[in-house]
């Protein structure tokens, strides 16, 4: 089968199309014919080889989220699963491929009426956004700041926060990204030096950018506010003092729960989308062989919403 190999750390050019043996469904496993593979910004950071706990052993086929149709089932698996549309995580690698073998317990059926590409776009981003809303307890009357509001997670956070009755300030970097923010009550450009004055005081901050942006956003929180720190698109985590947060009665959220919680959040996101209450934005699709180009586009910050690979 066709795959994308990564044999060294570096720029997007280290993602090279190649071949690999077709996977076989072992006991308790299914084989999924991949229609769409999800790309996350974290994968671009892992590819670059920066320090961190998730530095993979090479060589690998990258990719951790896919969607498609089950083509084979192993022993101890319900044979009726064959032919079903599903989305699934691959366990950390192997997703940039035509087929994957995964544990049957890891797959999520795609609800009737939900397109497969939309379901893949929601697999990582939907469960993250749903979990963040739950963890921060967004409620009617809250004023919420969503960083990277034109991105995959950010765009969903805007929708979910609005549905919870909050007023939403969407923040994005640069005029082009600001123009792509949808559904927010106020939109600010966090590359402008006066952006915090424009954003104003808030009750909740969703920090997916980190660095100086996340640190500045923390200063906007009212007493008793909540800040979810979940990403470092800038390359570093926001510097937020635990002591200062405690003095202001600010709750810092750094975890969304365990595996069962994440399964619940995933199912919720898929159901909300199938019923028309949550819509992911799919910005660009690249053929599998152009994974390097897809990574380059994401790193250049020219993409909006979710970027997908299409085997």
pLDDT in tens, 93-116: 999 999 999 999 999 999 999 999
How many CB atoms within 10 Å of residue 178?
Answer: 20
Q: Low-confidence residues of the chain, pLDDT below 70?
A: 51-54
* DSSP states of 168-237: EEEEESSHHHHHH--S-SEEEETTSTTHHHHH--EEEEEESS-HHHHHHHHTTEEEEEEEEE---TTSS-
* DSSP states of 268-301: HHHHHHHTTS----EEEEEEGGGHHHHHHHHHTT
Residues 67-90: b if buried by 16+ CB within 10 A, e if exposed: bbbbebbbeebeeeeeeebbbbbb
By the 10 Å C-beta count (0-12 exposed, 13-18 middle, 19+ buried), 251 is classed as middle
Percentages of the chain per state (helix, strand, coil), in multiples of 5: 35, 30, 40
Question: Which pLDDT value is given to residue 68?
Answer: 98
Helix, strand or coil for residue 262? Answer: helix
Query: Which H helix or E strand runs over 309?
Result: strand 306-310
Question: Which pLDDT value is given to residue 55?
Answer: 80
* CATH 3.40.50.720 boundaries in the chain: 124-253
Q: At what angle do helices 259-274 and 116-136 cross, to 10 degrees?
A: 120
pTM of the model: 0.93
Question: What is the C-alpha separation between 105 and 77, in angstroms, rounded?
Answer: 9
Please state which architecture CATH assigns to domain 124-253.
3-Layer(aba) Sandwich (3.40)
**Overall CATH class of domain 2-109+281-310:** alpha beta
pLDDT in tens, 284-298: 999 999 999 999 999
Question: Which pLDDT value is given to residue 283?
Answer: 92
Chain centroid to CA 196: 25
């Amino acid at each position: 089968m066709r795959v994308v190999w990564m044999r060294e750390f570096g720029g997007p050019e280290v993602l090279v199309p190649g071949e690999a043996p077709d996977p076989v469904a072992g006991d308790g496993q299914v084989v999924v014919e991949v229609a769409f593979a999800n790309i996350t910004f974290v994968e671009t950071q892992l590819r670059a080889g920066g320090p961190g706990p998730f530095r993979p052993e090479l060589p690998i086929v990258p990719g951790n989220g896919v969607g498609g149709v089950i083509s084979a089932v192993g022993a101890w698996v319900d044979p009726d699963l064959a032919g079903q549309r599903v989305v699934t995580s691959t366990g950390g690698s192997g997703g940039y491929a035509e087929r994957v073998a995964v544990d049957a317990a890891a797959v999520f059926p795609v609800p009737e009426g939900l397109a497969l590409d939309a379901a893949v776009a929601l697999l990582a981003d939907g469960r993250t956004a749903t979990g963040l809303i739950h963890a921060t307890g967004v409620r009617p009357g809250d004023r919420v700041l969503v960083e990277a509001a034109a991105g995959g997670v950010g765009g969903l956070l805007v929708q979910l926060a609005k549905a919870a009755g909050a007023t939403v300030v969407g923040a994005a970097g640069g005029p082009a990204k600001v123009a792509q923010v949808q559904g927010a009550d106020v939109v600010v450009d966090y590359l402008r030096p006066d952006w915090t004055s424009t954003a104003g005081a808030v009750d909740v901050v969703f920090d997916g950018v980190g660095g100086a942006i996340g640190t500045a956003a923390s200063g906007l929180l009212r007493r008793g506010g909540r800040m979810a720190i979940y990403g470092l698109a800038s390359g570093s985590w926001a510097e937020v003092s635990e002591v200062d947060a405690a003095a202001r009665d600010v709750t810092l959220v750094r975890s969304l729960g365990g595996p069962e919680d994440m399964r619940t959040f995933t199912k919720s996101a898929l159901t909300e989308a199938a019923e028309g209450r949550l819509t992911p934005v799919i910005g660009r699709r690249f053929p599998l062989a152009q994974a390097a180009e897809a990574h380059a586009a994401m790193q250049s910050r020219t993409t909006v919403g979710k970027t997908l690979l299409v085997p």
